[in-house]
Structure 1
Amino acid sequence: MAKTHSDMPAQRQKRIPLPVLEAAMVLTWSSGFVGMRFSADYAPVYLVTLWRLIALSVGLFPFVAKEIRQAARLVLMQQSCIGALAMAGYLAGVAGGIQLGVPAGLAALIADLLPVGVVLISTCALHQPRPASVWGGLALGVAGTLIVGHAALSLGSAPAWAYGLPVAGMLSLATGTVWQQRISSRNALSPLATLWLHSLVSAPIFVLLQAYQGGIAPIVSAGFAASVAWTAVLATLGGCGLYWLCLQRSSSARVTGVLFLSPPVTLVWAWAMFREPLSWLMGLGIAVSGAGMFLVVNRESDQAG
């Protein structure tokens, strides 16, 4: 059977080694937390999030319109539900916690426990067994993350219930990730079309969230425009887009396990942009997280082989 035009991008993507895609994913995924901190100086977090979703919904449409028109209604319904969980639920939880006073570092630390959430959901809810090496790798990853983020473990001044928002956001993304992995490849959209649909269904949710707090009109300023551009291009198009692309080529345990490297990369972003200090303890945490990631990735690669 001859290859269709829509098959060609997928074939080109498979020529890129998976570790290269994963490295790019970690780099751009980590930029999201720094972008959130940057944008907080110019506008409410929900307002920036709303307009980044609007920008992506409008900007990506010409590139995915044909695929969306040809997609089955069931596929669009499934992806809409996954998008509400994986994008709207995740961003609302993490950004909402930060907006209520949860320290950004602590919110990022909770969000970076995504690999644990994915493995717990797939193991407990779907009865997918995991070998001891994966659990050991997850334990090392958590330990390294805690070492790297030890300074972020201050409670801040948020109400007690607000600390549950980043946890809920992380679990929402974990649920969407496991759901996405269970969908047949014949019922999946391309990563770009997936990202567009997730942005489209998430935008109205943030219209409601922001309208409850204030106006939804964009702020006419260079800082607001830069915040929207940073989070839309790097964090969402880069980080989220590569996340779904990597999930098409590997297991959820491996892809989320690689994200254990997100906290140290976030620290490097913060050092480069805000001159936040680095320390030898952070280096130790990076090494421990890296060992945990290696165990998870190595085991998942063996199973795939």
Structure 2
Amino acid sequence: MSNSTLAPTTRPIWVRLTPVVFVLLWSTGFIGAKFGLPYAEPLTFLMIRLGMVAAVLAVVALVTAAPWPSRWIDAAHIMVAGLLVHGIYLGGVFTGIAHGLPAGVVALIVGLQPLLTAAASGKVLGESVSTRQWLGLTLGLCGVLLVVWESLSVRADFLIGIALCLGALAGITAGTLYQKRFCGGMDLRSGTALQYAATSVVLLALAWNIETMEVDWTGEFVFALMWLGFVLSVGAVFLLFILIRRGAAAEVASLFYLTPPVTAVIAWLMFDERLGALALVGMMVTAAGVALVNNRKRAT
């Protein structure tokens, strides 16, 4: 007991800052999509992005002598987690945005993940979620609703985009739980390369059948590709897997509540999209909810 109470104060500063950096990086995903999607169809964009990163990580894994899965079942678990986290989640988000769904609505739908993860983590992972944490999860949801409330009333013809984002929500929720349960010993270099390679092959098959696969290689597209490929698909995803490995699933998932507010701030700084009073209140409510979920004091 004494070790667990001392752990939060004795952890290195980089460990304590990891959730903050993760939220900042993850929140730029919508910005990168805004830059890149006008120049390539969503599945083609993702296929190029993940295939490129898979090749780079495979070289890194070989050069650094990273261990690869020794059994086929371990490799299969890693690829399944990758298809859920990268294929279904990113595919749903990108195609939802490509169908005209506002980024705020996409963030809201995906932001429901913590409630689903918390509800499932008890049965799937045997983790307990305290009353304090349930209160925090509920506050986080209320904060997200406040932040994107105005976006919900913009248009009413986004049923396809909403369905795609609901699929993305299911993918990231299932992927978080699956990664926590079956891929705890995965080496980040070789394992992530394997995940991206498997997902890019599936995306190639889908894009070949339902998209033109035409790309306009503008400076904006190349920038978005490099940013999403290496800053998001390497930096942010590595941090996500580190957080999943170190923390309870419900606590890690609660960080996704911070994505819509942080995305709104970045959009304000980059595109002069103004924040209303309701959004600011929502951000504070969300921050309070995340603090409750991640409070490790005695659960009752």
TM-score range, shorter chain: 0.7 to 0.9
1:48 counterpart letter in structure 2: F
Deviation for aligned residue 1:143: 0.3
What are the superposed Cα offsets for residues 233-267 of structure 1, whole Å, 9 maximum, x if unpaired? 22221222211111111111111112211111101
Partner SS, residue 276 of structure 1 = coil
Alignment CA distance shift 1:184-1:271 (3 Å):
closer
Instruction: Name the residue aligned to 1:115.
Output: 114
Q: Tell me the CA shift for residue 215 of structure 1.
A: 3.2
Would the alpha carbon gap of residues 152 and 193 (structure 1) be closer, same or farther in structure 2, given more than 3 Å must change?
farther
| 2: CA distance, partners of 1:140 / 1:23 | 19
Residues 179, 70 of structure 1: alpha-carbon distance in 2 compared, 3 angstrom cutoff: closer
**Amino acid corresponding to residue 134 of structure 1 in structure 2:** Q
CA distance in 2 between partners of 1:160 and 1:171 (Å): 17
* Separation in 2, partners of 1:158, 1:211: 27
100 and 21 in structure 1: CA distance in 2 versus 1, 3 angstrom threshold:
same
Q: Which position in structure 2 is the counterpart of 1:294?
A: 291
1:49 maps to 46
1:101 and 1:157 in contact (8 A); partners too: no
Deviations 1:195-222 (A, max 9, x none): 2222111101211232233333643322
Distance of 1:216 and 1:120 partners within structure 2: 39
* CA shift in 2, pair 1:50/1:158, >3 Å: farther
For 2:30, the equivalent position in structure 1 comes to 33
Q: Secondary structure at the match of 2:294?
A: helix
In structure 2, how many angstroms separate the alpha carbons of the residues matched to 1:219 and 1:143? 40
Partner of 1:80: 79
1:1-31 CA-partner distances (Å, limit 9, x unpaired): xxxxxxxxxxxxx745433011110000001
Alpha-carbon offset, residue 302 of structure 1: 3.3
Quickly say closer, same or farther: Cα 1:213–1:223, change in 2 above 3 A.
Answer: farther
How big is the shift at 1:37? Answer: 1.3
* Percent of aligned pairs sharing the same letter: 27
Tell me which moved more, 70-79 or 238-247: 70-79
Q: Is the alpha carbon distance of 1:159 and 1:149 closer, same or farther for their aligned partners in structure 2, counting shifts above 3 Å?
A: closer
Give, in whole Å, the separation in 1 of the partners of 2:160 and 2:286: 29
Question: 2:74 is matched by which residue type in structure 1?
Answer: V
Q: Is the 8 A contact 1:254 1:297 kept in 2?
A: yes
Out of 167-176 and 284-293, give the one that drifted further: 167-176
For the 8 Å contact 1:117–1:170, the answer to whether it is kept is no
2:181 maps to 1:182: yes
TM-score normalised per structure 2? 0.87
Deviation track 1:76-128 (CA, whole Å, cap 9, x = no partner) reads 11101111111101111122222223222211211122211211222355665
Q: For structure 1, which runs of at least 5 residues remain unmatched after alignment? A: 1-13
Displacement of 1:303 after TM fit? 6.3
Contact 2:66 / 2:189 at 8 angstroms: preserved in 1? no
Change (3 A) 1:74 1:67: farther
Structure-1 separation of matches of 2:37 and 2:119: 33
1:22 is paired with a residue of what secondary structure? helix
Query: What SS does the aligned partner of 2:28 have?
Result: helix
1:61-90 deviation digits (Å, cap 9, x = unpaired): 111233354643322111011111111011
Quick check: 289-298 or 16-25, which moved more?
A: 16-25
Give the aligned residue type for 2:57.
L
Cα 1:60/1:284, change in 2 over 3 Å: same
Question: Equivalences for 1:234-249 in 2 at 5 Å?
Answer: 234-249=231-246
1:21 maps to which residue?
A: 18
Aligned-residue offset at 1:191: 2.7
CA contact (8 A) 1:82 1:198 kept: yes
Mapping for residues 182-201 of structure 1, pairs under 5 Å = 182-183=181-182, 185=184, 188-201=185-198
